[in-house]
Amino acid sequence: MRSLRVYSTLALLTGGAAGSCTIDRSPDSDPLISIEDGVEVATPPAIPAPFDPRYEWEFRALREIPAGGPGPGHDPLVFNPARALPLRNGTLLVHDPQADAPLVILDPTQRSALYRFGRNGQGPGELSPLVDLSENPDGSLRVLARANRQVLTYGPDGTYLGSERLEFEEYPFKSLPAPDTEGHFVEVGTRGPGAWVRRVARVELDPPRLLPGVELAEPAPGARGTGIQYGRALWSVVGEHLVTMRSENPTVTVHDLSGNLVREIRLPLSRRTLSESDIQEQISLHGPIARSLEPGPAALTNELYAASDSVFGMLMSALWRAAEDPRSFPDELWWRLFSLHGRYIGMVRVPEDVNWLWQGSDRFWAFSVTADGEPVIQELMLRRKMVE
């Protein structure tokens, strides 16, 4: 094994009018890099305490589309959108599974719906509730309906152009679009002895087929506890990389889109132990969903997010936090941000009651409700918070 320190410059995210934002760098904050069995291993130094103002980021709203419609007596633009995709011409493709026509193309400038199309169902050419969206170079649209195991194609105006069947036996759990618009990633699993065996596979669209992909790590032998407490396999597509981890294990794996392991990141985070008083506190905050908790080790996180094309976020809350974090954590959701090279970036508070529709570079689309109770679709930018 050999070790070295890496001091290369890492440009991160864009701060709009404030200019390009980068984190202050020093040799003491760069990860230690080692090579083990031909794989690069990055070990960040101790992570600064949560809420250190030098490492705080924020979501800034750039624009809003009122989702409730133009006025009384009119149908809303959307009911409860689940996915979105910014299109090259500046419009926004939205999947609204509760609508009769569940696909809608919105004009963010005019705050209006240009086209409504698609139909729900389980048959050929129909959409299941869980889909992912992509745009072809010629402007046509592809929709992966993973429960239906098919890929549907539409013209730029929503004209239905046909569908192709995906032939695979495994059960689909989750999917995300690939960054090059030529496919998707889907988590599939088969029922093994006592547990699911899962992998993240690339969906190639021409012709539609599932490539081998990356197997997700299984729980340690003898692991106990509920999925919400610990033991979940997590993954996300971050730029041109596939990032995976287990919710109870502070080791993150980084693969290229072909499934080759390129780096491990060993985070300096320690699991904490849930006590009976911790569980009662969670029940008072979250109700029945917390009643499945048991005294014992707790998860470090319960989800991974793509925060940019080179940064991923780990969900952090009163329940999902490390032993080093303050006990009196507020009843809020935060992301811990890390670069794909293993550098700690900072923390950002997640807006309340937000449903993420699309994430890419430093821009996000989300569905939420304003303080006045009005549903809106927002375009958000992630940027470093300016310290006064």
Tens-binned pLDDT, residue by residue, of the chain (388 aa): 333 333 332 344 433 333 334 444 444 568 999 999 999 999 998 888 888 888 999 999 999 999 986 555 567 899 999 999 999 999 999 999 999 999 999 999 998 999 999 999 988 899 988 899 999 889 999 999 988 889 999 999 999 999 998 888 888 889 888 876 567 899 999 887 777 889 999 888 777 788 888 999 887 776 767 778 887 899 999 999 999 999 999 999 999 988 999 999 999 999 999 999 889 988 888 788 888 898 999 999 999 999 999 999 999 988 899 999 887 677 789 999 999 999 999 999 998 889 999 987 789 999 998 878 889 999 999 999 875 5
Q: Considering only CA atoms, which of 301, 347, 386, 387 is closest in space to residue 51? A: 347
- pLDDT, residue 10, reads 36
Backbone angles phi, psi at 99, to 5 degrees: -85, 155
- pLDDT, residue 17, reads 35
- C-alpha 307/C-alpha 336 separation (Å) is 10
Question: pTM, whole model, 2 decimals?
Answer: 0.88
User: Which strands, in side-by-side order, build the sheet including 83-86?
Assistant: 83-86, 92-95, 103-107, 112-117
Backbone angles phi, psi at 55, to 5 degrees: -125, 30
DSSP β-ladder status, 39-43 and 32-36: antiparallel
- pLDDT, residue 9, reads 28
- C-alpha 174/C-alpha 171 separation (Å) is 10
DSSP β-ladder status, 241-246 and 214-215: unpaired
Q: Are 12 and 21 in contact (CB under 8 A)?
A: yes
- pLDDT, residue 387, reads 59
- pLDDT, residue 16, reads 36
